[in-house]
Structure 1
Amino acid sequence: MNNKESNVYKLTVGGLLIAIGIILPRLFHMFGTPNLGRMFLPMHLSVFIAGIYLGSLYGLVIGFITPLINSLFGMPVFPQNIIMAFELAAYGFFAGLMIYLLKNQKTARPVKVYISLITSMIAGRIVNALVLLVMAKFLGMSVPAPMSVISATVFGIPGIIIQLILVPAIVFVLSSLKEKHNR
């Protein structure tokens, strides 16, 4: 695949991942309360996939714009949409960065994906806490305390488990399909 085809491919997959990042949360909100979204974290899936599969730049952009686009449809509301934009941008960026940094390591691909995924989960939650701190201290906004990230993480354990299962599986399927296409 030449450079132009690669860019078209990445833009196409990136657009599909944004669409998934919009549709999945809508489905969760249709079947219950916003707590389902906070528990199962459906918006996060496409961002992690974008970072690991498409790279840190795509992960960052898709992570940043997905919650902002979703807020046009009512969820997440301000200021949560801004907080999530930075958090998801960090997820996507660090997932892609870690995969890139591990590229030449003599580690099995599944291990690299899990390291990237877990590292980016931690980095995104740190960014979430920092954004909460900045919004509260420097902008004088009424937002949850940065320590709320811990309770949100505990509440989101079902979603984290789903991410640890689905993200590597989807990345492996996409990679296999791409390899078959390139033959």
Structure 2
Amino acid sequence: MKTNVKTSPILHLTYAAVCLALCMVLPFLTGQIPQVGSALCPMHIPVLLAGFLCGPWWALAVGAVAPLLRFALFGMPPLFPTGAAMCFELAAYGLVSGILYRKLPKKVLNVYVALIAAMLAGRVIWGIVMVVLMGLNGSAFTWAAFMAGAFVNAVPGIIVHIILIPIIVLALRKAGLAD
């Protein structure tokens, strides 16, 4: 019985491990860029890629674990509320990008559709979790804080994601390394 290498669970596990490793390393690289390093959202890139490469469930796991593992290893991001909210946000990124990429026809436009929908869903989830966490802390999480955190301050990262991720996904597809 012959298995398709592209759908191999071992390949998906390997891609997930590489994406998780990138979640640990990329913030060191972007952190060297003054004033926009964290705005580039470096941990988001590998999680979104995991959705395209590994499928929704592996990507959900990568997204949920990455902030916790990075905190355990390097003390960043701070666990409460940033790291906790990021766990849900990144898990949503991976889940939504993976589901949509699997369900939509394999057209270039649909890579963008899956990516943008995942980014929007993740930011909404982040906002909901921040409302809950800040409420538990006795603080308010306002609409202005949501808009600033999810969109205004993240503009450099949003632009990088929209440019970089489709290029990588399409190049990997062309090379025969992704579905």
TM-score, reference length from structure 2? 0.86
Q: Distance in 2 between matches of 1:69 and 1:179?
A: 27
Q: Which residue of 2, 10, 22 maps to 1:8?
A: 10
1:175 Cα deviation (Å)? 2.0
1:9 Cα deviation (Å)? 0.8
CA RMSD of aligned residues (A): 2.4
1:123 Cα deviation (Å)? 0.4
In the alignment, structure 1 residue 149 sits paired with structure 2 residue 151: no
Alignment-mate amino acid for residue 2 of structure 1: T
Alignment of 1:1-183 (within 5 A): 2=3, 6-29=8-31, 31-32=32-33, 35-72=35-72, 73-79=74-80, 80-103=82-105, 109-137=107-135, 139-140=136-137, 142=139, 144-145=141-142, 147-152=144-149, 153-178=151-176
Residue 162 of structure 1 aligns to a residue whose secondary structure is helix
TM-score, reference length from structure 1? 0.85
Kindly, what percent of the aligned residue pairs are identical? 33
Contact 2:27 2:38 (8 Å CA) reproduced: no
Q: Number of paired residues? A: 174
Return 5+ residue gaps in structure 2 as ranges.
Answer: none
Post-superposition CA distance 1:100-137 (Å, at most 9, x none): 2313xxxx621111000000111001101110111133
Post-superposition CA distance 1:52-77 (Å, at most 9, x none): 22111111111111111111202100
Return 5+ residue gaps in structure 1 as ranges.
Answer: none
